[in-house]
Amino acid sequence: MFMFRSTFIMEGLKWLTFVLVSAVLYWNLSTTFPFFGTGEAGMRPLESFNGFIGQTKAVESIMIELCGSAKAGKVPEGFLLTGNPGLGKTEMAKAIAIQNKTAFHTVRFVTRTEIAKVLSKVEKGDIVFVDEGHRVRHEFYELLFPCIERKGLTLSDILGKEKEIEGIDSKKQIQDFIFIIATDQPGSLPNALKTRLKDHILDFYSERELRTIISNWFDSENKKVPMDESGMPKKEALVEFTPHVLTVIARTGKGNPRQALRHAKTVRHAALAAGMNSINAPFCKSCLKKNDISKNRP
């Protein structure tokens, strides 16, 4: 009996220790990264990543990478953002630049000269972003591999034979930057590139996340309304909405913010055309039906 009680007590202490350690780890993560554990299950208010809503898993991973690199005095090599069109890959890249407090350079490379012009403006920690990375020639990536690997290149290494270009100091050393590529066709990228960048797959959004995104969009549109002679927003251009409207539109988005916002724009314009300053669910449903927009998922 004594042995049984001792074993029971020891197992109980082990379990208590596990629970306490887990609680401490969770508290540390949630303190360092405020959005940690803010998923749908907790029903806590949705927090944005510098204005970016959703994709909590990817955001947490990216934040840990940024924080760890900063404390080590280094710059992350970069990230590969993959996922269907309209899931916010470009917006996430911009949010990373805001978080890093560095400049954001969107690039469309064609020649060595154009590459050099962009890299000549890059400061340490800046974001160099390529959208639709699957459309870029593989030679471009091969040219940048040494830069990604921090080989200490100068612009002359990029320019090659074209070493004298007006406005470019070919002797300038290329600063360490964060290379971000967005694509919905990762299979078309060279394997050598995919092994150098950490891949983050963007998922479809929850209805709750889409509701927040749509609500924020409606608010931002109202803030753009021109003022009348008294300095107040013109009432005829303001559009309010009921909470149910957000749900109706969110369900038509099928997990895709771009699609949901397109439908929100359709409903808002219909309300303005009808001289309405408040959208209710019946009007919203009628408008969506007239435009052959269904809430049913494929």
* Residue 173 maps to a domain: yes
pLDDT at residue number 168: 80
Q: Are residues 255 and 186 in the same domain?
A: no
Which regions of the chain are under pLDDT 70?
Answer: 1-47, 109-110, 161-164, 295-298
> Can you name the residues that pair with 107 across neighbouring β-strands?
none
Note whether 15 and 63 are same-domain residues.
no
* Per-residue CA distances from 246 to 28, 88, 135, 213, 236 (Å): 34, 19, 36, 9, 21
In a domain, 94, yes or no: yes
Residue 260 lies in domain = 207-290
Taking the C-alpha atoms of residue 247 and residue 263, their distance in angstroms, rounded to an integer, is: 12
Q: Are residues 63 and 16 in the same domain?
A: no
CATH of the domain at 90: 3.40.50.300
Domain boundary (174, 201, 228) is at 201
Residues 99 and 188 both lie in one domain: yes
Residues 197 and 226 both lie in one domain? no
Please tell me whether residues 270 and 285 are part of one structural domain: yes
pLDDT tens for each residue of 5-36:
555 556 655 565 554 544 444 444 444 443 33
DSSP characters over 137-173: -HHHHHHHHHHHTT---BHHHHHTT----TT--TTPB
Please give the model's pTM, rounded to 2 decimal places. Answer: 0.77
Q: Is 104 helix (H, G, I), strand (E, B) or coil?
A: strand
Position 11 scores a pLDDT of 62
- pLDDT score at 158: 81
Closest CA to 204 of 86, 291, 78: 86
**Residue 254 confidence (pLDDT):** 94
Q: How many domains does the chain have?
A: 3
Q: Are residues 171 and 242 part of one domain?
A: no
Residues 241 and 122 in one domain: no
* Residue 62, pLDDT score: 94
CA distances 77 to 32, 127, 246, Å, are: 22, 10, 39
Whether 116 is in a domain gets the answer yes
Whether 39 is in a domain gets the answer no
Q: Are both 117 and 236 inside the same structural domain? A: no
Asked if residue 19 is part of any domain, the answer here is yes
